[in-house]
């Protein structure tokens, strides 16, 4: 072997350990990286196990809280049911008003007042002193069987005050399902007539139209049926009209009447209705004979027939409302004859903004027969003269004329006045539960029937201005 070969072999043997050293370093680095990765994965697994443990603890705690809450809710439900609050709804309204009446020289707040400020007297129902300026509280309850119960309390302004002395009961009624379409209804139920409702939070104007105030009834006391079939709803009752019970000092009191109403909802309209109403039977009659003392009817009632059609439609910002009515009652006219009346009312509304609404309402009531007369015999001889309720304030009955000596006398006891009314005003929705109202009203009569307090004369017209704030819940 020569020297060159030995040198090459020696060089090769010297480089071999160096190559082996590089391979070990790489392996060591990979092992260290793998170890770091394993440690990272172990840390992640440990963190996940910790999170799972924490979640399980939270789930267990939430389950305990939920079980506790469920026990509490069940207890509240049981307490509510045992206390009678299940299915109970409470609502109410308060609506102070301010009224200026030109002919009566009256400018006053109107709220829960009685006639002449006498707490023991009956409340006089005039068009400037009707249901507005009142308050009501309503309790409604429905049981599991679908039986409905309604009690509405309205001191000095409800149906009870107008037909039953000083009663604060406006409505006390029940409805009992007989099947899916028909319910038995009973109790004291407010009148079903017209397009206008009773309370301030249900109406646009402050005052009511002439038909509502003077030709519609107050309430029915009796039993009947309420049936819904498709787009129709039918209601009927055998009941006392405007009286909780008929009994007149042993002179008799059997005077039920049949009252009915049918409502049809036209398909394709979101808010529209056509209604038909009628009453056949006997009504209370307060008329007296010409001497002013002897009742015309010993039983206090007389036969009457009344019919009416009404409807409404709201589309977009516009609202349309209308009503036609006719009626007659034996012995209820001023001269003791048959009272007859017919009339119409229409109202147009427009929402200038979602909060601001304007309205215009026009009324006509023909009441010329036999000196004038309305349901219940209100136009009797004792109701005439200065300061009297119906003839002096509301503009009905025979007209007056000055005889030249300063005395005002009846022109013709057989001819009554026809009445007109125009109302203009607005509503402003201040909050979701509060509405501000303003109304100007012009009333006119075909005869001089409005008593002018300032000089003792009789006029053919009157002006009224009213404002109200209505808060409901």
pLDDT at residue 233 greater than cutoff 70: yes
- What's the confidence (pLDDT) of residue 76? 56
Q: Which among 270, 323, 346, 319 has a CA at the least distance from the CA of 427?
A: 319
Both 446 and 352 in one domain: the answer is yes
Domain that holds residue 256: 91-111+173-472
Choose the final residue of a domain: 86, 121, 154. Answer: 86
Both 76 and 210 in one domain: the answer is no
Both 312 and 348 in one domain: the answer is yes
The reply to whether 207 falls in a domain is: yes
The reply to whether 125 falls in a domain is: no
- What's the confidence (pLDDT) of residue 247? 67
pLDDT tens figures, 365-413: 999 999 999 998 866 444 444 334 456 889 998 988 988 777 888 889 8
Both 220 and 181 in one domain: the answer is yes
Both 443 and 419 in one domain: the answer is yes
pLDDT bucket at 119, cuts 50 / 70 / 90: low
H/E run at residue 324: strand 318-329
Determine if the pTM surpasses 0.85: no
For the chain, give the percent of residues with pLDDT over 90: 59
CATH number of the domain within which 102 lies: 2.40.160.10
More confident residue, 8 or 248: 248
pLDDT at residue 262 greater than cutoff 70: yes
- What's the confidence (pLDDT) of residue 285? 87
Both 183 and 44 in one domain: the answer is no
Both 36 and 95 in one domain: the answer is no
For the chain, give the percent of residues with pLDDT over 70: 82
Both 65 and 105 in one domain: the answer is no
The reply to whether 428 falls in a domain is: yes
The reply to whether 95 falls in a domain is: yes
pLDDT bucket at 290, cuts 50 / 70 / 90: low
- What's the confidence (pLDDT) of residue 10? 45
Total structural domains in the chain? 2
Coil, strand or helix at 44: helix
Both 398 and 448 in one domain: the answer is yes
Choose the final residue of a domain: 86, 101, 130. Answer: 86
- Average of pLDDT values for 271-294? 83
The reply to whether 274 falls in a domain is: yes
Q: Which among 286, 282, 204, 290 has a CA at the least distance from the CA of 241?
A: 282
Both 350 and 304 in one domain: the answer is yes
Query: What's the angle, vertex CA 99, arms to CA 93 and CA 102, rounded to 5?
Result: 160
pLDDT at residue 185 greater than cutoff 90: yes
- What's the confidence (pLDDT) of residue 405? 79
pLDDT tens figures, 58-111: 777 777 776 766 666 565 556 656 666 788 999 999 999 999 999 999 999 999
pLDDT tens figures, 2-54: 554 444 444 444 444 544 556 777 788 877 878 778 788 777 878 778 788 77
The reply to whether 390 falls in a domain is: yes
Both 67 and 98 in one domain: the answer is no
pLDDT tens figures, 429-449: 999 999 999 999 999 999 999
Choose the final residue of a domain: 86, 101, 127. Answer: 86
- Average of pLDDT values for 104-132? 79
Both 105 and 63 in one domain: the answer is no
Q: Which among 167, 261, 246 has a CA at the least distance from the CA of 216?
A: 261
The reply to whether 142 falls in a domain is: no
Instruction: Say which range, 156-170, 235-249, 268-282, 283-297, has the weakest mean pLDDT.
Output: 283-297
């Amino acid at each position: 072997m020569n020297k060159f070969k030995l040198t090459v072999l020696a060089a090769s043997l010297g480089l071999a350990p160096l190559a082996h050293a590089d391979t070990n370093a790489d392996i060591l680095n990979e092992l260290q990286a793998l170890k770091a990765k394993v440690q990272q994965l172990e840390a992640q697994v440990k963190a996940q196990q910790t999170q799972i443990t924490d979640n399980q603890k939270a789930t267990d705690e939430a389950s305990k809280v939920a079980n506790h809450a469920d026990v509490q809710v069940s207890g509240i439900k049981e307490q509510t049911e045992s206390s009678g609050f299940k299915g109970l709804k409470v609502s109410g309204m308060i609506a102070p008003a301010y009224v200026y009446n030109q002919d009566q020289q009256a400018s006053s707040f109107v709220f829960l007042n009685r006639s002449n400020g006498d707490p023991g007297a009956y409340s006089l129902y005039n068009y400037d002193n009707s249901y507005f300026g009142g308050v009501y509280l309503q309790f409604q309850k429905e049981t599991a069987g679908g039986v409905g119960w309604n009690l509405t309390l309205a001191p000095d302004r409800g149906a009870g005050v107008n037909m039953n002395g000083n009663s604060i009961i406006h409505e006390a009624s029940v409805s009992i399902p007989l099947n899916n379409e028909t319910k038995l209804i009973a109790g004291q139920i407010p009148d079903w007539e017209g397009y206008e409702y009773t309370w301030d939070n249900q109406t646009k104007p402050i005052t009511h139209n002439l038909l509502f105030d003077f030709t519609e009834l107050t309430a029915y006391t009796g039993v009947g049926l309420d049936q819904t079939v498709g787009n129709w709803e039918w209601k009927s009752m055998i009941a006392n009209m405007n009286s909780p019970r008929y009994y007149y000092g042993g002179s008799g009191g059997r005077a039920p009447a049949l009252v009915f109403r049918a409502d049809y909802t036209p398909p394709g309209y979101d808010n529209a209705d056509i209604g038909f109403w009628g009453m056949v039977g006997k009504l209370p009659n307060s008329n007296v004979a010409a001497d002013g003392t002897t009742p015309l009817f010993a039983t206090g009632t007389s036969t009457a027939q009344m019919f009416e059609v009404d409807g409404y439609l709201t589309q977009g910002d516009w609202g349309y409302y209308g009503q036609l009515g006719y009626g007659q009652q034996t012995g209820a006219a001023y001269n003791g004859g048959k009272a007859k009346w017919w009339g119409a009312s229409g109202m147009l509304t427009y929402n200038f903004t979602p909060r601001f609404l304007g309205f215009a309402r026009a009324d006509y009531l023909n009441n010329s027969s036999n000196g004038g007369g309305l349901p219940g015999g209100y136009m009797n001889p004792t109701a005439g003269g200065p300061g009297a309720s119906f003839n002096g304030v509301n503009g009905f009955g025979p007209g007056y004329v000055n005889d030249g000596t300063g005395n005002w006398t009846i022109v013709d006891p057989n001819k009554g006045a026809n009445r007109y009314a125009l109302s203009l005003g607005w509503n402003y929705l201040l909050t979701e539960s509060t509405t501000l109202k303003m109304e100007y009203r012009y009333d006119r009569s075909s005869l001089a029937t409005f008593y002018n307090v300032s000089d003792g004369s009789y006029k053919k017209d009157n002006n009224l201005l009213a404002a109200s704030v209505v808060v409901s819940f």
